Amino acid sequence: MTFDLTPEQDQLRDAVRALGRRYGHGYFVEKAKAGEHTTELWAEAGRLGYLGVNIPTEYGGGGGGITELAIVCEELAAAGCPLLLLVVSPAIAATVINRHGTEEQRKRHLPGLADGSQKIVFAITEPEAGSNFHRLGTVARRDGGDWVLNGRKCYISGVDEAGHVLVVARTEDSSTGKLKPALFLVPTDAAGLTRSKLDMEIVSPENQFLLYLDDVRVPADALLG
């Protein structure tokens, strides 16, 4: 096994390093102190194809993997611009949708994740359960052709920047009656989904939220996969 980068990966590292240096730590801190997001850097990284390096080419991505995305994360962080939502939207959401989503879900979401025009954040952590999905209290039940979600989530990053949140809930297994984990793509403007911003000690352009799901109704195709 070798951990040496390929020539293409070296070129990617050099290119992302140059982008990060054009913005720099001063830009990052200025945005954070002003309560603003790193919108310009995110948009340019998307236009250049860096946000979608791990997404298949048929959905507008670069066709690479998590190594390529790690390079993007590392070089922007080294330049003083650590983008937290890189770990959430392209790394978690895009990877899960690509591997486990339906073809319709891939076509609907992956191109926007690849070019940066769409962000999907991830909601698993809960006040009582932490990130232990065996103890999650957020539950989804069937109601006709829809799903109805109820629960609470905490320390969810970037909800104010995203169009959807990938919610980890539990559904009843009809064969055993036990609850099992499931993932739902929930629009951030869905009725019954409310959020409360958390005050954090760190200065960051990304915000953290408490999420409340009160009878949030989503269609059947919101269930991932």
Q: Residue 175: its pLDDT value, please?
A: 64
Q: Residue 102: its pLDDT value, please?
A: 97
Tokens of 141: 């039940």
Average pLDDT, integer, range 135-142: 88
Q: pLDDT tens across 44-57, in order?
A: 999 999 999 999 99
Cα–Cα dist 194/152, whole Å = 10
Say yes or no to pLDDT of 93 above 80.
yes
Say if residues 24 and 63 touch (Cβ distance below 8 Å).
no
Tokens of 104: 């319709």
Domains and CATH numbers, the chain: 7-117 (1.10.540.10), 121-222 (2.40.110.10)
pTM higher than 0.75 for the full model? yes
Average pLDDT, integer, range 198-209: 92
Q: Residue 180: its pLDDT value, please?
A: 83
Average pLDDT, integer, range 114-143: 87
